[in-house]
Amino acid sequence: MCHSGPKKVTITISATSAVPYPPTISDGVNVGSTQTEDDNLTTSVQSGNVVVFQKAGDVGAISNIYETGGSNVFKKLPAIQSDGTWKGEIGAFPAGTIETYGITYTVDNVTYNQDPKIMINK
Write the CA distances from 51 to 1, 43, 108, integer angstroms: 25, 10, 26
Count: domains in the chain: 1
The pLDDT tens digits of the residues spanning 93-112 come to 899 988 888 899 999 999 99
**What pLDDT sits at residue 112?**
93
Percent over 90 (pLDDT), the chain: 50
107 inside domain: yes
For the residues 1-26, what does the mean pLDDT come to? 84
Q: What is the CATH number of the domain that holds 49?
A: 2.60.40.420
Domain residue limits at 37: 8-120
**What pLDDT sits at residue 55?**
96
Please provide residue 94's backbone torsions phi and psi, each rounded to the nearest 5 degrees: -70, 150
Please provide residue 110's backbone torsions phi and psi, each rounded to the nearest 5 degrees: -110, 135
The pLDDT tens digits of the residues spanning 26-41 come to 887 767 665 555 556 6
28 inside domain: yes
52 inside domain: yes
Residue 117 Cα to chain centre, angstroms: 8
3 inside domain: no
The pLDDT tens digits of the residues spanning 68-87 come to 877 788 998 899 999 999 99
Q: Rounded to an integer, what distance in angstroms lies between the CA atom of residue 21 and that of residue 117? A: 17
Q: Rounded to an integer, what distance in angstroms lies between the CA atom of residue 10 and that of residue 107? A: 20
Beta-carbon count within 10 A of 18 CB = 7
79 inside domain: yes
